[in-house]
Structure 1
Amino acid sequence: MIHARRDKLRLFFAVISLIIITSLVLRLLQTFEFTPPNIMERSVGVENPVELKPDRNNNGPRAGKCGLAASCPRSGFAFKIASGATNVVGPLICFDGKMIIEKTVGHGRPGITIVVIKETTGELIKTGTYNMWNGDVRELIEFLNSIEDGSFVFMATFDDPATKLNEEARNIIAELGSAYVSKLEFRDNWVFVGGRKTMIQVSFEQHRKNDKSTNKYGAWPEMIEMEGCIPRLD
């Protein structure tokens, strides 16, 4: 008799516990969108890939090109640029409504991704991605030196942009209008829009330091997203 009562009590508490756990799990699933473990990717020197939380800053439908809240004045060039997030989500570069570098998950473009646009027409000239963890910085320097006058230059980082970034490369990027590249360090996040001898002076830049005391994703800082308008030549 006593054993039967104990069994009933155990069953009762087990059912209650299951209901509570199920409720908590459902709440978590409503709050977060987990990334399946099979899309995690290790980059060189990375020990623990981080599971990302989705961006919940959704402002509803967007009216302008590249998802801007409003159209650019006088038919200017709209742009949106985002750094990568940890070593999982790659960078994004959109220009004048065209997604030139599309954000990828599970694999991407470690280092610095560059897009070059012709100022007068908005035409895409070329793109390049340069691994600054274990790549060859001379390839980056060669690409930078090949950029023609009258070009807009977009740069976005992913994972590590700075280990192999030497003084020569930094100086060339500074000549394109960057005020921060000289201080760029291991796993900092950075996005930059500049130009080489353009008629319209362009300089947009944001950065986020890699600091374990403030990082959103452990060994990586929070991603950066920047958008705006570049005047179009008449």
Structure 2
Amino acid sequence: MRARAEALRPSTLKAVFFVFASLCAWYSGYLLAELIPDVHLSSAVYSIQSIGKKPVLKAPTPKRQKCDHWSPCPADTYAYRLLSGGGRDKYAKICFEDEMLIGEKTGNVARGINIAIVNWSQPQLTEKVLNLMYIDPADNSGPMTKFIQNAPSKSLLFMVTHDDGSSRLKEDAKQVIEALGSTEIRNMRFRSSWVFVAAKGFELPAGIQREKINHSNDAKNRYSGWPAEIQVEGCIPKGPS
């Protein structure tokens, strides 16, 4: 009997140890279940699969600025952007304070020199644009001269070409544009791309980009012999109200 009892003692101890270990394991699992929040299995699998992968950084979508500027103009300035025509189907555009003054969508752009005149002192008025004109200088060099001369004082004048703006451009028209500060009007050739910002009755700041011209009409370029479009853009200080 004694030998049999001694033989059963190790088995009993093992059984007790097994029961104790099972209780500990159950209790540990219970604590983990209480402490860890519920997570869907798919999310857990995705998290495991994502370990070691490089994080993907997404840049925020840039905020659109007035007249499609890359950076905003200061609060005390007006935004402008002038784009000449390029080829047969790239029409000229004049944008001021995010309003398209001249362009294909507004239906008021044509062959020649396109001009918009804006009241510098009060462009916030409903009638922001004092006048618009698209002029083929082959027929309207004289009217264009009068149009510019009749622009009131404290006016901004924006000029862009589409197709050709130089054919038979008369001397009086060249002189009136030259008097506004253009240095390229006498350099225009057939179908030259040209943009010009001018002021009447006040001086624009020296740092403002005002004029650009492009004569390139290489047959190998993207418009097959037509000069490519060019543009100027910037911020003009607001005038006195």
Give the TM-score, by structure 1 length. Answer: 0.67
Cα deviations by residue, 1:74-114 (Å, 9 ceiling, x for unpaired): 3310011100112222110110111111235x995100000
CA-atom RMSD in angstroms:
2.4
- Aligned mates of 1:197, 1:84 — CA distance in 2: 29
- Aligned mates of 1:225, 1:200 — CA distance in 2: 18
The equivalent residue for 1:9 is none
- Aligned mates of 1:224, 1:199 — CA distance in 2: 24
Q: Which has the larger radius of gyration?
A: 2
The equivalent residue for 1:38 is none
Q: How does 1:62-77 map to 2 (within 5 A)?
A: 62-77=63-78
The equivalent residue for 2:120 is 119
Does 2:195 correspond to 1:194? Answer: no
The equivalent residue for 1:233 is 239
| Counterpart residue type for residue 134 of structure 2 | T
- Seen in structure 2, the aligned counterparts of structure 1 residues 203 and 151 have a Cα distance that, compared at 3 Å, is farther
Out of 132, 151, 156, the position equivalent to 1:147 is 151
Residue 166 of structure 1, CA deviation: 1.5
Q: What SS does the aligned partner of 1:77 have?
A: strand
The equivalent residue for 1:207 is 213
Which structure features the higher share of helix residues? Answer: 2
Taking only the aligned residue pairs, the percentage that are identical comes to 28
The equivalent residue for 1:179 is 183
Residue 216 of structure 1, CA deviation: 3.5
Q: How does 1:159-178 map to 2 (within 5 A)?
A: 159-178=163-182
Aligned pairs, number: 174
- Aligned mates of 1:168, 1:107 — CA distance in 2: 25
Residue 69 of structure 1, CA deviation: 1.6
Q: How does 1:1-234 map to 2 (within 5 A)?
A: 61-103=62-104, 108-122=109-123, 123-132=128-137, 134-201=138-205, 204-212=210-218, 215-233=221-239
CA contact (8 A) 1:90 1:107 kept: no
Runs (4+) of structure 1 exceeding 6 A deviation are none
Give the TM-score, by structure 2 length. Answer: 0.65
- Aligned mates of 1:74, 1:108 — CA distance in 2: 30
Query: Could you list the runs of 5+ residues in structure 1 that have no partner in the other structure?
Result: 1-59
- Aligned mates of 1:62, 1:180 — CA distance in 2: 35
Q: What SS does the aligned partner of 1:223 have?
A: coil
The equivalent residue for 1:28 is none
- Aligned mates of 2:220, 2:174 — CA distance in 1: 26
